[in-house]
Chains A and B, each alone.
Chain A
């Protein structure tokens, strides 16, 4: 704002030169401008912290009656949204066994590749324990398989492996340290959870997003991680996650 000449004598006379009255006038003016002026553009990143603050502040300023009404409407809203997304919720549900998988020594020596068929006949899954983990770039199928886990009741027969989850990209569905039962196979179905190999970057567990003739989109549940794409190559897909073992509190 430009520097300006002094207040007019008439204006000063109206407040009697009383600094408190002038303060009150300035307050009224600021309030009026806030009420009637243009809102700060919320799409401008410079205003984003203000909107964060304002959102919290407006919520805190709600009176008891308004808060009670908000709570009631929020209950209705949440119930409506869950009903609308029930199919989605079912899709997101993953069978859970509380605790860690109980392993036993492998009944077949050699690598996972050679052990997996023997495990299938014994209704078991081959465990790849992180203690025997390969480094980046090594092939999962060449890893030694020293432990098996009996398939939990209800899991159809088939070829399975058990892997340990690291990282938080699939939070809150999967936590670091969870074990997942993966049905081995190259199928990729939209919205399913798969274990796949990213060329030059090791194995990941992700939800399948868009599938095109050329590539497969892999998305994370944790929004901090952007989607990634891998070539649509059967050799890059280990299989589909069908169950998790979880010792996390939320699984109990």
Chain B
């Protein structure tokens, strides 16, 4: 880049002494071409380029729909929520004074995750107000209507905090167990495996050779399986059945366990 300060009649950006801010973060630098593409996209949003808005939408819609699904947002609401959010976030990024994130996808995902949390919190609050109104003396339908958005009314007949309900207790306990038995790095690795990140990519992100990454993955999978099988052995039969179904053992041990539980309860009665 030319230095504008060198020539009085040549004007432009900052001189080299004011180069773009340092972008490197601990071990998490994106490839330069990705970063350049992100920055170019934001620059085009800032001049309200229609094609840039289109690209921004196409690039992030699948991610937001997946995050909404993982956040157990009802399927019929996901597109609307994601679309509204993309409008807001693209308007924000298009402001010349907004800070441009180092990693656009992570930035959008973080903001959307916060948005989903806020939304869930608001829904819980509205649902609580709705329940209160419905059980209060002298409350009529007008009270309920005045307190409820369409969304809250739907929520009042569905599950509590999440649109799609919660996991059974046995499986929530399994998640807790895995969390207690794994480090943050291991959980990150498990997540990558679940999303089918190629091992070469894992090696690049973790800064090890392909062979070392492969070995690490293999060991983690084996250890995890063993830990969970041992965990299962110490669980009551019905919970054991639920966990074993996760492993695909429904036809064998799980069913046998369920049968024993049913028989036991009948005999108790």
Kindly list chain B residues whose C-beta atoms are within 8 Å of the C-beta of A33.
175, 178, 190-191, 194
Interface CB pairs A-B, < 8 A, 28: A1-B223, A4-B226, A14-B249, A25-B249, A37-B191, A40-B188, A42-B109, A45-B28, A46-B27, A50-B191, A59-B63, A73-B79, A73-B83, A74-B54, A78-B57, A80-B87, A82-B53, A85-B91, A143-B8, A164-B11, A166-B2, A166-B10, A202-B6, A220-B14, A220-B96, A221-B43, A225-B13, A227-B97
Q: A77-B86, A89-B48, A227-B97 are in contact. Are A133 and B13 (CB under 8 A)?
A: no
Select A34's contact among B26, B91, B191, beta carbons within 8 Å.
B191
In the complex the two chains form, is B221's CB within 8 Å of A74's CB? no
Size band of the interface chain A makes with B: 35 or more
Tell me whether A61 and B205 are in contact in the complex, defined as CB-CB below 8 angstroms, given that A37-B175, A195-B11, A226-B21 are known contacts. no
Does B62 lie at the interface of the complex (its beta carbon under 8 Å from any beta carbon of A)?
yes
B-chain residues with CB within 8 Å of residue A213 when the two chains form the complex = none
B4 and A202 form a contact (CB under 8 A): yes
Selected contact of B11 from candidates A6, A84, A173, A205, CB within 8 Å: A205
Whether, in the assembled complex, B144 has its beta carbon less than 8 Å from a beta carbon of chain A, the answer is: no
Residues of chain A within 8 A of B109, CB atoms compared: 42, 51, 55
Instruction: Please give 13 more A-B residue pairs, beta carbons under 8 A apart, in addition to A4-B227, A225-B14, A225-B18.
Output: A8-B230, A30-B221, A37-B178, A45-B106, A49-B29, A54-B195, A55-B108, A77-B57, A134-B9, A135-B8, A165-B11, A202-B8, A225-B20
Contact with A along B12-41 (1 / 0, CB 8 A): 111101101100011111100010000100
Residues of chain A within 8 A of B181, CB atoms compared = 1-2
| Cα–Cα distance between A58 and B59 once the two chains are bound (Å) | 9
Q: What residue in chain A is nearest B90 (Cβ atoms)?
A: A81
Which residue in chain A gives the minimum CB-CB distance to B244? Answer: A14
| Residue in contact with B252 in the complex, picked from A14, A31, A49, A89, CB distance below 8 Å | A14
Top 8 A-B pairs ranked by shortest CB distance? A34-B194, A169-B13, A167-B12, A167-B13, A202-B5, A223-B100, A133-B7, A128-B9
Q: With A28-B246, A53-B197, A59-B58 in contact, is A223–B46 under 8 Å at CB?
A: yes
Establish whether residues B13 and A50, one from each chain, have CB atoms under 8 Å apart when the complex forms.
no
- Given contacts A4-B227, A31-B194, A79-B50, whether A219 and B97 have CB atoms under 8 Å apart is yes
A36 part of interface (Cβ distance < 8 Å): yes
Are A42's CB and B50's CB within 8 A? Answer: no
B153 at the interface (CB under 8 A from A): no
Interface residues of B in 53-73 (CB under 8 A from A): 53-55, 57-63, 66-67, 70
A37, A66, A164, A226 pick with most chain B CB within 10 angstroms: A37
B13→A1 contact, CB < 8 A = no
Q: Distance in Å from the Cβ of B17 to the closest Cβ of chain A?
A: 8
Tell yes or no: B167 within 8 A of A by CB.
Answer: yes
Residue of B nearest to A15 (CB): B249
